[in-house]
Amino acid sequence: MSVLPVMPEPTTFSRQLWQSGADTYAKILRHPFLIGLTDGTLDRDAFCYFIVQDSHYLRAYARALSLVSARATDPEAVAMFARHASEAMAVEKELHTSLLSSLGLPVGAVDDAGSGPTTTAYASYLLSVCATGTYAEAVATVLPCYWVYRDVGRELMARSSPDPVYAQWIATYGSPEFDAVVESVLAVTDALGTDLAASERRRCQEHFAATTRYEWMFWDAAYHRLGWPV
């Protein structure tokens, strides 16, 4: 009796996207900003820079998610991305206000500092693709912010930090609630991958790789407190 060969399980669309940014993600985990978060040695000024710039980023990310919601092709995805856009604004107001206070920074510090070069570039890329690309491209472009933060949060939660302010930030992105949010977006992503032409799939992979790089650049900009050159 012949034995049928065991066929490998098909690779999901989200996993194909992840592979395009996997090398960058490995570098993110080794970045001195994240290492300094967990061992408590990160310069407080670098973390302040990060929180301020993250506030600017979340404002743009909320707009990007609103664009994804408008492009969505089923009512559940429309509602989900609209809800996430609202939640991104809530995080920007609540978490960062709390952290700004813990860091001894006034609420006006965010607007006074303005959007830095990396923040501006990342936000511009997100908004451009979400406004002009296909729905699948838009989802692939916003996905690294969900996924990278969730997986980084898991890694950091295992170590936490001796610094209570850093530990507070780590706990937010390593929570079960955030994990559930990411899984819902991954499910939408995988459903989109069933009907894509090869050219659109390739563009999605390119966008995912680009915004994963921007995630690394965001940490790096904070670590070096990167400002405008002129």
pLDDT at position 3 is 47
Q: At what angle do helices 198-224 and 32-39 cross, to 10 degrees?
A: 60
Nearest Cα neighbor of 140 from 12, 23, 13, 10 is 13
Cβ atoms of 187 and 63 closer than 8 Å = no
pLDDT at position 176 is 83
Sole residue written with tokens 């407080």: 44
pTM of the entire predicted model: 0.92
Which domains are seen in the chain, by residue range? Answer: 13-224 (1.20.910.10)
Q: Which amino acid would we find at residue 14?
A: S
Q: Each residue's pLDDT tens digit in the chain (230 positions)? A: 444 444 344 589 999 999 999 999 999 999 999 999 999 999 999 999 999 999 999 999 999 999 999 999 999 999 999 999 999 888 777 766 788 888 888 878 899 999 999 999 999 999 999 999 999 999 999 999 999 999 998 899 888 899 998 988 888 777 788 889 999 999 999 999 988 999 999 999 999 999 999 999 999 999 999 999 99
SS3 (DSSP) at 8? coil
**Terminal-to-terminal C-alpha distance of the chain:** 76
pLDDT at position 178 is 86
**Residue ranges in the chain assigned as alpha helix (H):** 13-29, 32-39, 44-71, 75-102, 109-113, 117-132, 135-157, 164-173, 176-192, 198-224
Write the CB contacts of 199 (distance below 8 Å, at least 6 apart in sequence): none
Tokens standing for residue 20: 């395009």
Cβ atoms of 47 and 227 closer than 8 Å = no
Q: At what angle do helices 164-173 and 32-39 cross, to 10 degrees?
A: 120
Residues 88, 178: Cα–Cα separation, whole Å: 12
Tokens standing for residue 134: 């296909």
Sole residue written with tokens 């012949």: 2
Tokens standing for residue 87: 């939640």
Count of CB atoms within 10 A of residue 125's CB?
18
